[in-house]
Amino acid sequence: MSGKPQDPTNKLVDVDWDDPRLQELLKKTQGLRLDNRGTFQPRRILLRRGWHDGATAETATLAAEHTDGRLTLITDFPLERGDPVMIDKNAAAVAHPQHILAEVTDCRRGSRPEDDGHRVFVITLLSHKNQRWLR
Protein backbone atom coordinates (compact mmCIF):
# COMPACT_ATOMS: atom_id res chain seq x y z
CA MET A 1 0.00 0.00 0.00
CA SER A 2 1.47 3.31 -1.02
CA GLY A 3 1.28 6.36 1.18
CA LYS A 4 -0.21 8.46 -1.63
CA PRO A 5 -3.91 9.22 -1.33
CA GLN A 6 -6.02 8.17 -4.30
CA ASP A 7 -7.15 10.95 -6.60
CA PRO A 8 -10.98 10.75 -6.71
CA THR A 9 -11.08 12.54 -10.06
CA ASN A 10 -9.25 9.74 -11.87
CA LYS A 11 -12.49 7.70 -11.95
CA LEU A 12 -14.64 10.44 -13.45
CA VAL A 13 -16.31 9.73 -16.77
CA ASP A 14 -16.76 12.25 -19.55
CA VAL A 15 -20.43 12.54 -20.45
CA ASP A 16 -21.62 13.47 -23.91
CA TRP A 17 -24.75 15.43 -23.01
CA ASP A 18 -25.67 15.64 -26.70
CA ASP A 19 -25.80 11.85 -27.11
CA PRO A 20 -29.34 11.06 -28.41
CA ARG A 21 -29.62 8.02 -26.10
CA LEU A 22 -28.92 10.17 -23.05
CA GLN A 23 -31.30 12.87 -24.25
CA GLU A 24 -34.05 10.24 -24.69
CA LEU A 25 -33.48 8.92 -21.17
CA LEU A 26 -33.52 12.41 -19.69
CA LYS A 27 -36.82 13.16 -21.44
CA LYS A 28 -38.37 10.00 -19.98
CA THR A 29 -37.33 10.92 -16.44
CA GLN A 30 -38.11 14.63 -16.64
CA GLY A 31 -41.60 14.34 -15.12
CA LEU A 32 -40.67 11.93 -12.34
CA ARG A 33 -40.86 13.16 -8.75
CA LEU A 34 -39.70 11.45 -5.60
CA ASP A 35 -42.33 11.09 -2.92
CA ASN A 36 -40.69 10.78 0.49
CA ARG A 37 -43.85 10.75 2.57
CA GLY A 38 -43.04 7.50 4.37
CA THR A 39 -45.62 5.63 6.43
CA PHE A 40 -46.47 8.33 9.00
CA GLN A 41 -50.21 8.88 9.22
CA PRO A 42 -50.84 12.67 9.03
CA ARG A 43 -53.22 14.02 11.66
CA ARG A 44 -54.95 17.26 12.55
CA ILE A 45 -53.40 19.32 15.33
CA LEU A 46 -53.93 22.73 16.89
CA LEU A 47 -51.18 25.31 16.59
CA ARG A 48 -50.81 28.45 18.71
CA ARG A 49 -48.41 31.25 17.81
CA GLY A 50 -46.50 31.89 21.01
CA TRP A 51 -45.94 29.89 24.16
CA HIS A 52 -49.04 30.97 26.06
CA ASP A 53 -52.40 29.32 26.40
CA GLY A 54 -54.26 32.50 25.44
CA ALA A 55 -53.01 32.46 21.85
CA THR A 56 -55.62 31.70 19.21
CA ALA A 57 -55.53 28.08 18.05
CA GLU A 58 -55.33 27.40 14.32
CA THR A 59 -55.63 24.00 12.68
CA ALA A 60 -52.67 22.43 10.94
CA THR A 61 -51.65 18.96 9.79
CA LEU A 62 -48.81 17.10 11.46
CA ALA A 63 -47.16 15.44 8.46
CA ALA A 64 -44.07 13.89 10.11
CA GLU A 65 -42.32 13.41 13.45
CA HIS A 66 -38.58 12.90 13.26
CA THR A 67 -36.42 11.15 15.86
CA ASP A 68 -34.27 14.26 16.35
CA GLY A 69 -37.21 16.30 17.68
CA ARG A 70 -38.20 17.95 14.40
CA LEU A 71 -41.85 18.09 13.40
CA THR A 72 -43.16 18.78 9.90
CA LEU A 73 -46.47 20.62 9.58
CA ILE A 74 -48.66 21.52 6.62
CA THR A 75 -50.61 24.78 6.98
CA ASP A 76 -52.42 27.31 4.82
CA PHE A 77 -50.48 30.19 6.39
CA PRO A 78 -46.76 30.96 6.63
CA LEU A 79 -44.72 31.31 9.81
CA GLU A 80 -41.43 33.12 10.32
CA ARG A 81 -38.19 31.33 11.17
CA GLY A 82 -37.60 31.63 14.92
CA ASP A 83 -41.30 32.02 15.81
CA PRO A 84 -42.22 30.23 19.05
CA VAL A 85 -45.27 27.99 18.67
CA MET A 86 -47.22 25.61 20.84
CA ILE A 87 -48.88 22.60 19.27
CA ASP A 88 -51.54 20.34 20.68
CA LYS A 89 -51.08 16.87 19.20
CA ASN A 90 -54.35 15.63 20.71
CA ALA A 91 -56.62 18.18 19.04
CA ALA A 92 -59.65 15.90 19.36
CA ALA A 93 -59.14 15.28 23.09
CA VAL A 94 -60.20 18.60 24.62
CA ALA A 95 -59.99 17.19 28.15
CA HIS A 96 -56.42 15.90 27.72
CA PRO A 97 -54.38 18.27 25.57
CA GLN A 98 -50.75 17.38 24.87
CA HIS A 99 -49.05 20.72 24.32
CA ILE A 100 -45.53 20.80 22.94
CA LEU A 101 -43.41 23.94 22.77
CA ALA A 102 -41.44 24.35 19.55
CA GLU A 103 -39.67 26.87 17.35
CA VAL A 104 -40.01 27.36 13.59
CA THR A 105 -36.77 26.41 11.81
CA ASP A 106 -38.05 26.53 8.22
CA CYS A 107 -41.11 27.54 6.22
CA ARG A 108 -41.56 27.13 2.48
CA ARG A 109 -44.37 26.93 -0.05
CA GLY A 110 -45.56 23.46 -1.01
CA SER A 111 -43.90 22.20 -4.20
CA ARG A 112 -46.03 19.21 -5.18
CA PRO A 113 -48.23 19.44 -8.26
CA GLU A 114 -51.39 19.27 -6.10
CA ASP A 115 -50.16 22.34 -4.17
CA ASP A 116 -50.33 24.59 -7.26
CA GLY A 117 -52.99 27.25 -6.88
CA HIS A 118 -53.43 26.58 -3.15
CA ARG A 119 -51.96 28.21 -0.06
CA VAL A 120 -49.85 25.29 1.17
CA PHE A 121 -46.88 25.84 3.45
CA VAL A 122 -44.49 23.17 4.73
CA ILE A 123 -43.20 24.19 8.15
CA THR A 124 -40.40 22.51 10.10
CA LEU A 125 -40.40 22.89 13.87
CA LEU A 126 -37.84 21.92 16.47
CA SER A 127 -39.59 20.78 19.63
CA HIS A 128 -38.24 21.72 23.02
CA LYS A 129 -38.56 18.18 24.34
CA ASN A 130 -38.10 18.95 28.01
CA GLN A 131 -40.60 21.80 28.00
CA ARG A 132 -44.18 20.62 27.88
CA TRP A 133 -47.01 22.97 28.68
CA LEU A 134 -49.28 21.73 31.42
CA ARG A 135 -52.55 23.44 32.26
The answer to the question of residue 94 being in a domain is yes
What residues contact residue 107 under an 8 Å CB cut-off, 6+ apart? 78, 79, 80, 81, 121, 122, 123, 124
Domain carrying residue 56: 43-133
| CATH number, residue 77 | 2.40.10.220
- Answer whether 78's CB lies under 8 Å from 116's CB: no
pLDDT of residue 93: 55
Q: At 111, is the pLDDT very low, low, confident or very high (cuts 50, 70, 90)?
A: confident
pLDDT digits (tens, 9 = 90+) for 13-40: 788 889 999 899 888 888 776 666 567 7
Percent of the residues in the chain that have a pLDDT greater than 90, as a whole number = 38
The answer to the question of residue 22 being in a domain is no
- Answer whether 79's CB lies under 8 Å from 88's CB: no
Helix (H) or strand (E) holding 92: none
- 90-99 contacts at long range (C-beta below 8 A, 24 or more positions apart): 91/43, 91/44, 91/45, 91/46, 91/59, 92/44, 97/135, 98/132, 99/132, 99/133, 99/134, 99/135
Helices (H), 2-71: 20-29
The answer to the question of residue 106 being in a domain is yes
Total number of domains in the chain: 1
The answer to the question of residue 80 being in a domain is yes
DSSP 11: G
| pTM metric for this prediction | 0.64
pLDDT of residue 134: 44
The answer to the question of residue 76 being in a domain is yes
The answer to the question of residue 33 being in a domain is no
pLDDT digits (tens, 9 = 90+) for 51-72: 877 888 899 999 998 888 899 9
pLDDT of residue 37: 59
The answer to the question of residue 125 being in a domain is yes
